[in-house]
Structure 1
Amino acid sequence: MMLGRETIVPMLPSDNHVHSRWSWDTAQTSTMELECRSAIERGIPAVAFTEHVDFTQWAAGDRPDSLKVGERPGVAPLDIAGYSADISRCRDMFPQLRILSGIEAGEPHYFPASVAGVLDAGRFERVLGSLHAIPLQGKLEWVNAELFELIDPFELMDRYFTDMVTLVEGCDLFTVLAHCDYPRRYWPHDRAGAYHEAHFEEHYRTVFRGLAGSGRALEINTRSPLASVELIRWWWEEGGDAVSYGSDAHAPARVGDAFDVAVDIVEAAGFRPGRDRYDFWRR
């Protein structure tokens, strides 16, 4: 059927943050094959399977600084051989889709030797740096709703952003900073009111300056409450060069989720498509 001249087919960007059954928290919810099919159906040109790489203990060369690793039920090592074989199988099955290998490294500034060991053991094209945990009373604790019950919400965000500056400035093992304000997923609106990015503007800008100075990309994560145009513009104003789109999908239906809205946000902040559909969006 011919498309009318008034019909506009959206050109969506690549999804650079997807989890499959090889992530320890996604084993029961998705497979690479199902997520590849979903990406094709949605018009996503490429997916990066950035599986969780988290650790339950320190290795030689990590930086515990007398910290203990808090409880991490369910966390398991990435099966690199099985993951790599699945990547190859899906590339053969879906030649029309670009499929990138990758990891999402949790707290890589605390676990540099452990993360480097994973990177040395496989071939990973997209490496995300994430902060899911912060030090609290001598332990590295997950950031979640329970933690907001123990700490004043504004103090928790202050601690989080302070540690993220350390991550950005002290670790060069990743190329994309994922969900830069991850705790807002658990923000206690009933006790603290609405989450306003403006309350933490200087924190955001400090993180962005460090990340921009390193030449790396900032992710707009569509699983978290979506960033505002103003937030992405702060990234542009602080010298940020590139934006990566990530659904943080843990199920097929979420691959490329809300990318049409995210594209509008990123474009309004001043960024444009890169060299091709597979590239980051650029200044």
Structure 2
Amino acid sequence: MLPADNHVHSRWSWDTAETATMERECESAIRRGIPAVAFTEHVDFTEWGDGDRGYSRSADVEVGDRPGVAPFDPVGYAENIERCREMFPTLRIWSGIEAGEPHYFSASVARVLGAGVFDRVLGSLHGIAVDGRLEAINSALFDRHDPRELMDRYLSDMVDLVGQSQVFGVLAHCDYPRRYWPVERVGQYREADFEEQYRTVFAALAPTERALEINTKSPLSSVELIRWWWQEGGKAVSFGSDAHRPDRVGDQFEVAVHIVEAAGFRPGRDRFDFWRR
């Protein structure tokens, strides 16, 4: 049986279309045999708020462009969650957010969390500190900088994220920049080239009792990478499609289940639980 999808975005996220409704995504989950979905909407910021730590503790650092970012609407979102729970009683529906750079935007994230009740909170890095700016990670950034150096910097910042923020329970897409890796210019991405850096992230995360996500939108993690998590003491794995449209809910979960199982993890207490060692 397939596990819960703990990473789904609907129209309440700034980077989805109006067609990505909770209702359609719930219908898709039921068709796929997914027992539960968590609507972990993007909470990203384009300027420092009062009390945010900021990049290098500097409040005047400019944030890289994130076109289309609008403030998250916790009231409308919560009403939509409740409506879906009434419409789909056989599907477990969790509320949540995906907090971008919560170690930098600590106070801003706290204000969002204080405005609602959230069952799943993901921590993620979509931006990286480059030349005094927090810039969005994309193909253009890789065009301007050495890809391996960017990946090193990203994984180093992820260690800071784990150590400096306690608001999240799942670390999302631990190698997000891999989506933009310039294969034509530098060749295929090799996880083994960054084994030491991955293990450092995992060694920092494991004692906190939080889960590592296997993200099926990113290039799928190998059995070897998930086994590094197991070897560093990781206790739980969360499955997340990172769906931004209905047809991607639970996408590639059959493959992800085999990867996680081969790495040593097993289903948890029930169908709704994380997989555990």
- Equivalent AA in structure 2 for residue 282 of structure 1: R
- Equivalent AA in structure 2 for residue 16 of structure 1: N
- Equivalent position of 2:247 in the other structure: 253
- Equivalent position of 1:79 in the other structure: 73
1:221 to 212, 215, 219: 215
- Equivalent position of 1:46 in the other structure: 36
- Equivalent position of 2:238 in the other structure: 244
- Equivalent AA in structure 2 for residue 133 of structure 1: G
- Equivalent position of 1:276 in the other structure: 270
Show the 5 A alignment for 1:203-222. 203-222=197-216
Consecutive unaligned residues of structure 2, counting only runs of 5 or more, are none
TM-score by length of 2: 0.98
Question: What is the distance in 2 between the residues matched to 1:80 and 1:97?
Answer: 22
Superposition RMSD in Å:
0.6
Deviations 1:175-205 (A, max 9, x none): 0000000000000000110000000000000
2:12 to 15, 19, 22: 22
- Equivalent position of 1:143 in the other structure: 137
Deviations 1:237-280 (A, max 9, x none): 00000000000000010000000000000000000000000000
Deviations 1:10-40 (A, max 9, x none): x000000000000001133400000000000
Question: What is the distance in 2 between the residues matched to 1:127 and 1:253?
Answer: 23
1:108 aligns with 2:102: yes
- Equivalent position of 1:199 in the other structure: 193
Consecutive unaligned residues of structure 1, counting only runs of 5 or more, are 1-10
1:153 Cα deviation after fit? 0.5
Query: Post-superposition, which runs of at least 4 consecutive aligned residues in structure 1 deviate over 2 A?
Result: none
TM-score by length of 1: 0.96
- Equivalent position of 1:265 in the other structure: 259
- Equivalent position of 2:227 in the other structure: 233
2:27 to 22, 31, 37: 37
- Equivalent AA in structure 2 for residue 18 of structure 1: V
Question: What is the distance in 2 between the residues matched to 1:104 and 1:227?
Answer: 20
Query: How many residues align structurally?
Result: 273
Identity between Structure 1 and Structure 2 (%): 73
Deviations 1:36-86 (A, max 9, x none): 000000000000000000011111110122321111210011111000000
Contact 1:29 1:250 in 2 (8 A): no
